Amino acid sequence: MENLKELFEQQIQDLYSAEDQLVEALPKMVMNASDEKLKRAFENHLDETKQHKMRLKEICDQLEINPNGETCKAMKGLIKEAENFLNEVKDDDVKQAGMIAEAQRVEHYEISGYGTAARYAKELGYDDIAKKLQSTLHEEYNADDVLTNLAENRLNKKAS
C-alpha cells in the first residue's frame, strides 16, 4: 500500500470479510443461547450484520473495488475462540455469561475497525461513505450496550 486510499480500501475489504464470517457464526450463538433475551439480541445482531455486509458491498461498488480481499484473520480467531468456549463450558448459566464476553470481543473489534474506516473516509473526502460507516459504528456500539446490560443486570448474576 502506498497511500491512505489504498489502506482505506484494504480496511473496507477486511471489514467485509469480518461481517461475512459473522453472518456464518452468529446462528451458532443463537442456537446456543438458552436465555430468551440473549437469543433475541443475537438474532437482532445477525439481521444488523447482514445489513452491515450490504452497506460494505455498496461502499465497494462506490469505490469500484472488489469486496473480497484476504480473509480477516482477526475475526477468524475471535470466532474460533468463541467456538472453543462453547465446546468447553459445562454449566448453562456460565455459558450464557461467557457468550456475552465472546460476543463483546467481536463487537470491540468491529467498533475499532469501523471507527478507523469512518475516520479515513472523512479524511479522504468520502462524506457519504463516512456517514454509512458511522451508522454501522453506532449500531455496533448499541449491540455492545445491549450485551453489557444483559450481562450486568441478568446473566452474570445467574452464572455466579
SS3 content of the chain, % helix, strand, coil (to 5): 85, 0, 15
Please give the helix or strand (H or E) that residue 138 lies within, else none: helix 127-150
- Of the candidates 1, 34, 3, 9, the one whose C-alpha atom is nearest the C-alpha of residue 126 is 9
CATH of the domain at 153: 1.20.1260.10
User: pLDDT digit string (tens) for 30-62?
Assistant: 999 999 999 999 999 999 999 999 999 999 999
Q: What is the pTM of this model?
A: 0.94
- Of the candidates 114, 101, 102, the one whose C-alpha atom is nearest the C-alpha of residue 141 is 114
Q: What is the average pLDDT score of the chain?
A: 96
Number of domains in the chain: 1
Residue 156 has pLDDT above 90, yes or no: no
Long-range contacts of 116-119 (CB under 8 A, 24+ apart): 116/11, 117/8, 117/11, 117/12, 117/15
The whole domain housing 56 covers 4-159
